[in-house]
Structure 1
Amino acid sequence: MTGLRGTDEPLSALYDAALFDLDGVLYLQEDPIPQAPDGVAAARAAGMRIGFVTNNASRRAPTVVALLGRVGVKATEDEVVTAAQASAALLAEELPAGSAVLIVGAQGLADEVADVGLRPVRSADEKPAAVVQGFAKEVGWEQLAEAAVALRSGARWVATNRDFTIPSTRGPLPGNGSLVAVLTTALRREPDVIVGKPHPRLHQESVRRIGADRPLVVGDRLDTDIAGAVNGGADSLLVMTGVTDASGLLAARSGERPTYVAADLLSGLTEPHPAVPAGWTVTADGSGLVLGGAGSSLDALRALATAAWALPGADDDAWPGPSAVRADGAAAQEALDSLGL
């Protein structure tokens, strides 16, 4: 994709389903994100099917529904699709019923494994056929050590996701990918399978469960949500309420570029997305960009992203970052300041 797509119709009218990421889109840890509940409600009112899709493997569907309820988002258990569910389903396809699976992660991950007819264990002495690793705050040296023993003995290694960070109100914190990296370093090998976004398994499971024909993936991360949509052949909406900032969007490579971008979920689903953002001009100046004109900061970001992705070398680390963007005029400088560029 060389630029953001435009439409005069709201996205809620163009797609039959919305597959929402959770942390960074609907809440930050357990703090609600403004406009998110109204955005989900608007999608429902427009007739969209709803999926709540998360790489987080520590919470089961009832817990996710309860958390969503606390931040003002109505949800049902059959709308929740987690990397833990998809990982357990994959293991059930590969292993005989009753096989031992070593759990690195929360009890919710163990329960998902048990629900598909496998036997969750916590010790490598149980001779597990596989190790499944998901994020949990309680994961520490003891769980990682048991996994190392099991993996060196030939167990299959399934990681629910490789998110190196998770968003929080205090900034990004270590995620499951950071814990996977501990074992990767110790064992000098990679997981056999990574189930969660951006890998297609979780997206395929979500589409199947929700029954979507034309889904829109909604997320806040380029490397998981948006790349997962690209890998799954789906369009995507990036909301600027979580991990990705303006500089990160301008630096996105072709496999991580969203179809649309919005400040928040409600406006992203209910307002038009201009193909040519009104009021702004962007010109290339050497390897950088010059923003001129006036208008909303979001439209400035749309214009800058399309221009940045068209620069020579935009896919090979040639983008030098926010220092390569400068303003022509006071209005443009104000927009760049508001975007952190």
Structure 2
Amino acid sequence: MSGYDLVVFDLDGVVYLIDEPIAGAPEAIGRLRSSGTAVAYATNNASRRAPDVAAALTKMGVPAEPAEVLTSAGAAASLLAEKLPAGAPVLVVGADALRAEVRDAGLTPVETAEESPAAVVQGYGPDVGWRVLAEASLAVRAGALWVATNTDRTLPSPRGPLPGNGSLVAVLRTALDRDPDLVVGKPEPALFTTAASLAKAKRPLVVGDRLDTDIQGAVTAGMDSLLVLTGVSTPADLLAATPDRRPTFVAADLSGLFEPADDLRLPAKPAAGWTLTREGDSATLDGSGDPVAALRLLCVAAWDGESLHAGSDAARDLFRAWSL
């Protein structure tokens, strides 16, 4: 951490799962704060406002201020306020938090296409159903600007991935046969660049659990990133990652923030207990040891397009666990 002056955390799958803190996360963030490193939280989840997120984090043992939290709901409302005249009607698909952000931005939340909305803003909400999606479809067909807070296909949970806003956006995409006009949240870089600007940070680090949002957003923003394996993206996903979705570092969880950078960096240096033999277009993993160290080592070969093989019992166990 000595090389960074700000850490921007994703929340779902990094700090907590739904409303339960991930083991070790409060302690890791507390240690980071004690060292004097600034922190921020950037979430695509549009179902809570910044003060509510900060209060929930504090209750979990992660002290946070509303000013440290950036949400896709707030960013979407700000964007609409820049594009539309004051008081313009906006059809809101999502939770009450998104509706409140739209209202606070000086716009008028509406519920039906008959109210001639100038825009439709769509974010995650656990109670979003067919009726409001139908109204949104009619409004977009009539010419309303369609803005999505984010397009995460899933949300992490203790029971496994659940449908996210991207799945709900897909309903309208299918009905309308087109994409949203604008997507505000990650992988767009705005949440990260705003966090860095507010903190006056010159060397920020992004921490996330999703390659297609957190890590891609960091790459787009030109920031280093740490992928933790406590949420959505799996080892198999990392091995198949395209260059625009490859993190700077990978760790099992937030304890990686306090490990030597070179031990976590990708492509990896030789890992204790593991050997990787590369011949032609294939690579064989032998030995045993830390699973994440093996994963970092395998990235070297996988990203070069080589086929991966297990040469020891421990390696075969990992391959089975990772569905390779």
TM-score w.r.t. the length of structure 2 is 0.93
User: Structure 1 residue 305 and structure 2 residue 302: aligned?
Assistant: no
Structure with larger RCO (C-alpha < 8 A, sep 6+): 1
2:194 to 198, 205, 211: 205
Is there any run of 5+ residues in structure 2 with no aligned partner, and where? none
Q: Distance in 1 between matches of 2:314 and 2:128?
A: 49
Q: CA RMSD in A?
A: 1.7
Cα distance, 1:46–1:338 mapped onto 2, change above 3 Å? farther
**Given that residues 297 and 339 in structure 1 are in contact (C-alpha distance below 8 angstroms), is that contact kept between their aligned partners in structure 2?**
no
Q: Distance in 2 between matches of 1:290 and 1:298?
A: 16
CA deviation map 1:53-95 (0-9, x unaligned): 1000010112111221232211111100000011111111111
Aligned to 1:154: 143
TM-aligned CA deviation for residue 332 of structure 1: 3.4
CA deviation map 1:115-149 (0-9, x unaligned): 11111111212211111000000101111011111
Range with bigger deviation, 110-119 or 275-284: 275-284
Q: Distance in 2 between matches of 1:301 and 1:340?
A: 13
Question: Within 5 A, what are the aligned runs for 1:225-236?
Answer: 225-236=214-225
1:269 to 248, 257, 261: 257
SS at match of 1:14: coil
SS at match of 2:225: strand
User: Structure 1 residue 325 and structure 2 residue 314: aligned?
Assistant: no
TM-aligned CA deviation for residue 293 of structure 1: 3.1
**Given that residues 57 and 160 in structure 1 are in contact (C-alpha distance below 8 angstroms), is that contact kept between their aligned partners in structure 2?**
yes
Aligned to 1:4: none
Is there any run of 5+ residues in structure 1 with no aligned partner, and where? 1-11, 313-323
Question: Within 5 A, what are the aligned runs for 1:232-271?
Answer: 232-266=221-255, 268-271=256-259
Aligned to 2:207: 218
Cα distance, 1:119–1:191 mapped onto 2, change above 3 Å? same
SS at match of 2:2: helix
Amino acid in the other structure paired with 2:132? Q
* Segments ≥4 residues shifted beyond 4 Å: 285-288, 334-341
Q: Distance in 1 between matches of 2:113 and 2:48?
A: 24
Aligned to 2:6: 17
TM-score w.r.t. the length of structure 1 is 0.89
How many equivalent pairs are there? 318
Q: Distance in 2 between matches of 1:192 and 1:137?
A: 23
User: Structure 1 residue 123 and structure 2 residue 106: aligned?
Assistant: no
SS at match of 2:201: coil
Aligned to 1:292: 286
SS at match of 1:183: helix
Q: Distance in 2 between matches of 1:147 and 1:340?
A: 39
TM-aligned CA deviation for residue 248 of structure 1: 1.1
TM-aligned CA deviation for residue 295 of structure 1: 2.8
Q: Distance in 2 between matches of 1:35 and 1:333?
A: 29
Question: Within 5 A, what are the aligned runs for 1:188-203?
Answer: 188-203=177-192
**Given that residues 301 and 308 in structure 2 are in contact (C-alpha distance below 8 angstroms), is that contact kept between their aligned partners in structure 1?**
no
